[in-house]
Amino acid sequence: MFRQRAAEVACFAFIAAVGVQLVASQTLTCYNSSTTCTSTSVRLTGTRPAGQCCLNRGGRSYRASSSTACTPCAIYGFFQSPNSIAPSTTVYQKEGSQLTVYFGFVNGTFSGTHSVSFSVPDNNRYIKSFTTGSLSSAATRQQFTLSIIPDNIALQPPLSVAVSALVDGSSELVLPFNAVILDADVVTIGFRESEYTVTEGASPPDQYARVKLAKDKTIAQPLSVQVVPLTVDQFRPLGIPLPDGITFADLFNPAQYIPNGPMDFDKSILNLTFTSSQREINFNVAIVDDQINEADQQFICIVRLTNPSVNASGNVIIKNPSTVITIADDDLDTSNEFVLPFNAVILDADVVTIGFRESDYTVTEGASPPDQYPNLKLAKDKTIAQQLSVQVMAFTFADLTNPAQYIPNGPMDFDKSILNLTFTSSQTELSPNVAIVDDLINEADQQFICIVRLADPTVFASPRQIGPLNTHPDPIAIAIGFGADTYTFTKGQQIFYADTVKLVKDDGVVSEQTFSVTVIAQPNAVDNQAMFGVDYDMGPYAVQTFTITPDQLSVSIGLAIVGFVNRGAVVTEGGDFIECVAVTDPPPELTMQLSFYIQVLLVPDTADASDVSSDAFFIGPFDNTNRMYCFSINAHEYFEGNQTFTYSLTLIGEQVPVVIYSIVTMVTILDNTTLTIGFDPTQYAVNESNSYVTLGVSILGGATIQGASVGVMFSTGDGTALAGQDYNQTAQLLTFNESTAYIPVAVGIINNGYYEDDISFQANLTLQSAGGYEQFVTLSPAMATATIIDDINGVTIGFDQIGYSFLENQRYARVSVRVLQGQLKKSVAVQFRTIRGSAVGPYDYTETEKILVFNKSTHSINVDVPLVDDGLAEDNESFLAQLLAVSPSGRVTIAPATTLITIIDTNSVIIGFEKQSYQISKHQNQGRLPVKIQVLQGTLGRTVLLHVKTRDGSAIASKNYISIDYDLPALNFSVHELTVNGSIIVNDLAEDDKVFSVELSPISPSSRVTIAPRSAQVTIIDDNAALRVNVTVVAMEDDVPSARSSQHFIASSVRLTIPPYTPPQAELCVAFMILDNKVALEPNKTFSIKVMPSPKVVLLRPISHVLIVDDDAVSVNFTSSNYTSVGSGYTAVCVSKDAVTASNINVEITLTSANASCSEFLNSNFMK
């Protein structure tokens, strides 16, 4: 519906953004004037005085800054980023993070500088961080920040924080904004232990498995969980992990749970609730003592959320979702008194199959007996222990080629009677006879279907369970009902006579009580439509209660009918008409009892109470004298489409025998005014760099829509701009209604990258629908033009890389210059040239300069710069290539304008010692080292710095040579050889030759320079006179043995080391073992000592002899000092010696007499 509201004026704020339209109901103040928009300052036509407001341009508010021009009010809002186009009204942010949004200009007209301040409610869940600022331009954005504090409390509901902004101290033109803080804390719950043990027959309170459930964090709201005890078999398919360290193989004896039978544990689900700070819940799982001696048993408890939706945001983690409970059995197997009775029930596992023998049977319709039946065969495949009853039923089936018919109480093709058949124990086949009816009609062959089913489906249950039969007494019934199935009356006559419609009780049945019967007059929709021509007369219904006493056999009832006289009236907007309600003539005896009221109630359709003068009232009473009441309906004069509404009738007061047959009447209000919709404005301009242009379509001419909708198709058409190349083809159905007077349409702009003239396209409006009132809608202006202004930077030409690398032995360096962004429709010339760097032309490359021309078909040009291989091993060198604009337009950018070309050296050199070993005598060349370092292969094109040092071997620095550790002078293109400055230490010692090494290492390593060999060995040759240094002294027998080894001496050798710096003529002693053989009177003996020298030792006396002088003594004595002679003869006188001698001892014995001298001597010769 369209309505002109000339007297109702308000200011609205509009946001020209895609899909967003905001309307503020309050009066708005525009910032380029101090005058407030009011209804008195509005001018819809004519010249607008400066400083006053103009209004009602598609719901947008303007303020006149001159006598003719109007500017829209500035609207402000919050954005999620500094560059966002569309404002946001809600932003979600998690705890522990920082919310940053930006406040600025949204739409309208911006001018001047405006102060901005923010405010939010105080809360300990965040820290405010913002300052008062200002907006100096439409592009300025003020930052607003909330630091959201993590509080370690889980399950907190989202907190909505209203952020307020004041522009120049007012929030009138600021869009609402809310920051919603989401809880980021996660609470973990689970069983405290992975396993619990309980004794089966423990005394209270130990008869329970005491299980602990824990959580790790404070929560903001109670958290309900369920603990579910399960057997292992029930738990296994759930896929829930077992506790750590436990596998299914570890569950050695699973506990059982049998519903309504023996069990090991209580399977009841436990509902538990964690409070805010509660960290642990102790709960009991009941264990059943089955009085059976058995192995310990196990079952599993799992924990789950009572309401899984609590965890929609993933804030709850169940870490240990299961625990194993072991039931330790304590029953003793001492006798059979605790043994439960047991029966083994053997169940039949055999299956008997029954069915039709064939899938298709044929019978001739008029065959003679016994061929008048189809030869059906029903078979079973197994012997049965009891009789099996089945039923065969015949059916029609619409999907058959020519279905046979079965019409009850009429012609049919087959007998549809159910056949009851019974298989005996060993009977394998039955032949049911389905009768075929010969209808004596010439027709195509026909088909029907037979099915077989069990007569008693419970036979199929295994095992069979037969319960007790319920028996009920069968009392004598009393039937009460209408006297006839159908009563027929004619509209307009006296109807429902009291003696016509009756409630009847069974004749001859005596009742001992009074019956109350309620009769409901319920219209039948189909019959109602046929009777009254209305398809919505479905109530309300007349309800009345009648009483039948024991002595009454029937009761008469009667009804009156009430309804509208005129139905479906039409009135022109602004006119009125009369509607009447009347009572159809009832029977005389009934009308005397009537006295009731009717409520007339407005039922809104497309019209409402504001469109008519009456919405609800009462009429009546209806009685024997008053049979009709009339009332007036008045329609308001609005500019709108045709409207409809209905009046309904409702019976008021106690229930009376009245049926309201025409309960509603529809009234149609004809509209006779037009509505104008069009573009506002008709000319638009947009930069090509923008993503879209917004075109506005408004209701024009001061009208609006009330309770209806108008559909207008918006579509674009090519001009100089082409769809798909310059803009997005757009077709959109615009729906205008009571709340929508202006619709913005965004058309996407395509940045084609071409440098070109400004281009344009058209937008058109086409009427699609107006609820059947299209003739009242005018589209004007129905066309608008949008101009795309080419403001892009045009084309970017540059090197495709900012650096290139090429091997020196390549012939040339190829670089590529490309159109990197955009496309050209005109030729652009660019100068290419090379610039010296560490590489210098013409020695390293050939200097190059040329003009490159790009156009629509040429997007890439390769430039080859010749390279020069100079054969020198040198560092990588580089030079620049540069691009300079020659004739581009102002929208052509050269970037990157330079690129670095690196020449990778492919030549190499080998630097090392002249020789790998050197020899120098102590007194040669005054001790100077002869070591040299040379460029052994290749040519140096760079400077190479080396470091040289010595390393000890058998020669020791500062004793045998002067240590070296220094940087050598540079090797380069002109210096190819270096001498190592070093010397040996000259001494007069006779010693072994000594060795040390000289090592070479690069100071700045290069892959093109190889150091080989890296070390050289220097041998110091000893040229001093020989002195004793190291000798071996050997004791040995002479060539003609005198002293014998192991008899007179021990043959051995002694290594004698003469320390360095031992002075000349120094004596060193060597000891050898001389053996004492205790033999006297031996001659002296000799043995030899020989010196075995080491190299460089000259012996003056290499052999010496050792004389062994015998120092053993022997004594000879008489064995006694007195000898006595008896008688005459000889007297023995004995002598002895005290040592072994090497030779005989001659002893002379002299005899003397005490009185005279004896002259006789006795000579004796002793043995050795």
pLDDT value at position 19? 28
Q: Is 707 left (phi over 0), alpha (psi -120 to 50) or beta?
A: left
Q: What is the DSSP string of 350-370?
A: ----EEES-S-----TTPPTT
CA 469 – CA 457 distance, rounded (Å): 17
Q: Smallest Cα–Cα separation from 18: which of 766, 856, 971, 690?
A: 690
Q: Are 1143 and 1165 in contact (CB under 8 A)?
A: no
Contacts of 1058 (CB under 8 A, 6+ apart): 1027, 1028, 1029, 1030, 1031, 1066, 1068
Strand partners, 831: 851, 884
pLDDT tens sequence across 250-266 = 776 777 665 545 577 87
Instruction: Spell out, as residue ranges, where the chain has pLDDT lower than 50.
Output: 1-69, 260, 334-339, 461-477, 490-500, 508, 525-542, 589-592, 654-655, 662, 1026-1028, 1156-1165, 1167-1168
CA 988 – CA 1002 distance, rounded (Å): 38
- How far is CA 11 from each of CA 27, 29, 40, rounded to the nearest angstrom? 5, 9, 12
CA 677 – CA 1016 distance, rounded (Å): 102
Q: Smallest Cα–Cα separation from 272: which of 262, 283, 263?
A: 283
Q: Smallest Cα–Cα separation from 185: which of 150, 216, 157?
A: 150
Structure tokens at 595: 């006295």
CA 807 – CA 906 distance, rounded (Å): 6
Q: Scanning the structure block, which residue is given the tokens 């007998």?
A: 415
Burial 1017-1049 (b: 16+ CB within 10 A, else e): bbbbebeeeeebbebebbbbbeeeebbeeeebb
As a residue count, the chain comes to 1168
pLDDT tens sequence across 267-325 = 788 889 998 888 898 888 888 777 777 778 888 888 888 877 777 667 888 888 888 88
pLDDT value at position 605? 65
CA 750 – CA 759 distance, rounded (Å): 12
pLDDT value at position 7? 29
CA 828 – CA 856 distance, rounded (Å): 10
Give the other-Cβ count within 10 Å of 893's Cβ: 17
Give the other-Cβ count within 10 Å of 824's Cβ: 22
CA 899 – CA 882 distance, rounded (Å): 7
Sheet holding 70-72, edge to edge: 53-57, 60-64, 70-72
